[in-house]
């Protein structure tokens, strides 16, 4: 309400309101590291309590830093998603075949999802949206869109599928359970992509 008087409103996007307590900052890092470790050898379904224990903090602290479990997962893998975005942009600049670029990019993305077991299943809100979390989608869809568009302009693709739909589809394909040797998400994603190349949109689609 009071318009002047101590500048602290309008948090906009400044990283921290002001000197965040050192213990807080330390704990956040500790948590991120602990979570990365736990996720690595127990999968992203590891219980929050366990991560808290690994970090040597209480669950309350986890939730102070990451309001929802999924926020922690996102935070842990954020940089990998960013790397994927970068890769996409680099591939775009590279002059070669847009389709080849798209294929390479999808491969990298699938690899990322498959590597961390079960990463693809991080839920955003409730049990509502299965599949990729909004953060991933928000960042990856634009890149995918451009790759797709480039390939389309080059006449290498005929399907009118959207980037969002493709991302979700791939994310879902990477959603496997167990270490089933009979199912290879990478292979399926290749097949899907082959379909994107050759599929002619039918009437209702």
Q: How far is the CB of 102 from DNA (least distance, A)?
A: 35
87 vs 111: CA distance, rounded Å? 13
From the list 22-30, 55-63, 93-101, 163-171, the region that binds a copy of itself by CB under 8 A is 163-171
**Residue 142 touches a copy of itself, criterion: CB under 8 A:** no
Q: How far is the CB of 125 from a copy of itself (least distance, A)?
A: 8
Q: Which residue's CB is nearer to a copy of itself, number 3 or number 177?
A: 177
Collect contacts of 22-30 with beta carbons under 8 A, ≥24 apart.
24/64, 24/65, 27/55, 27/57, 27/61, 27/65, 28/65, 30/55, 30/56, 30/57
User: From the CB of residue 117, how many other CB atoms can be counted at a distance below 10 Å?
Assistant: 19
Q: How far is the CB of 16 from DNA (least distance, A)?
A: 8
129 vs 121: CA distance, rounded Å? 9
Q: Which residue's CB is nearer to DNA, number 27 or number 189?
A: 27
Q: How far is the CB of 137 from DNA (least distance, A)?
A: 19
Answer for which of 15, 17, 96, 181 binds DNA (CB under 7 A) is: 17
**Residue 36 touches DNA, criterion: CB under 7 A:** no
120 vs 171: CA distance, rounded Å? 6
**Residue 187 touches DNA, criterion: CB under 7 A:** no
**Residue 67 touches DNA, criterion: CB under 7 A:** yes
User: From the CB of residue 196, how many other CB atoms can be counted at a distance below 10 Å?
Assistant: 22
Q: Which residue's CB is nearer to a copy of itself, number 28 or number 118?
A: 118
**One-character DSSP codes across 141-159:** HHHHHHHHHHHHHTT----
**Residue 58 touches DNA, criterion: CB under 7 A:** yes
**Residue 63 touches DNA, criterion: CB under 7 A:** yes
Cβ(11)–Cβ(84) under 8 Å?
A: no
* Residues lying near DNA in the complex (CB under 7 A): 17-24, 27, 45, 47-49, 56-61, 63-65, 67-70
């Amino acid at each position: 309400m009071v318009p002047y008087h101590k500048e602290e409103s309008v948090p906009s996007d400044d990283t921290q309101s002001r000197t965040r307590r050192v213990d807080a900052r330390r704990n956040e890092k500790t948590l991120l590291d602990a979570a990365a470790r736990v996720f690595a050898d127990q999968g992203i379904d590891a219980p929050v309590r366990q991560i808290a224990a690994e970090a040597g903090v209480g669950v309350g602290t986890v939730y102070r830093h990451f309001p929802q479990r999924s926020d922690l997962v996102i935070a842990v893998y954020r940089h990998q998603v960013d790397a994927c975005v970068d890769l996409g942009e680099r591939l775009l600049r590279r002059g070669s075949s847009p389709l080849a670029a798209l294929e390479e990019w999808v491969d990298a993305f699938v690899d990322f999802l498959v590597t961390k077991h079960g990463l693809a299943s991080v839920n955003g809100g409730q049990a509502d949206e299965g599949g990729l979390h909004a953060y991933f989608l928000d960042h990856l869809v634009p890149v995918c869109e451009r790759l797709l568009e480039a390939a389309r302009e080059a006449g290498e693709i005929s399907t009118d599928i959207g980037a969002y739909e493709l991302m979700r589809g791939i994310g879902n394909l990477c959603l496997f359970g167990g270490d089933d040797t009979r199912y290879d998400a990478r292979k399926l994603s290749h097949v899907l992509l082959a379909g994107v190349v050759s599929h002619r949109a039918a009437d209702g689609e």
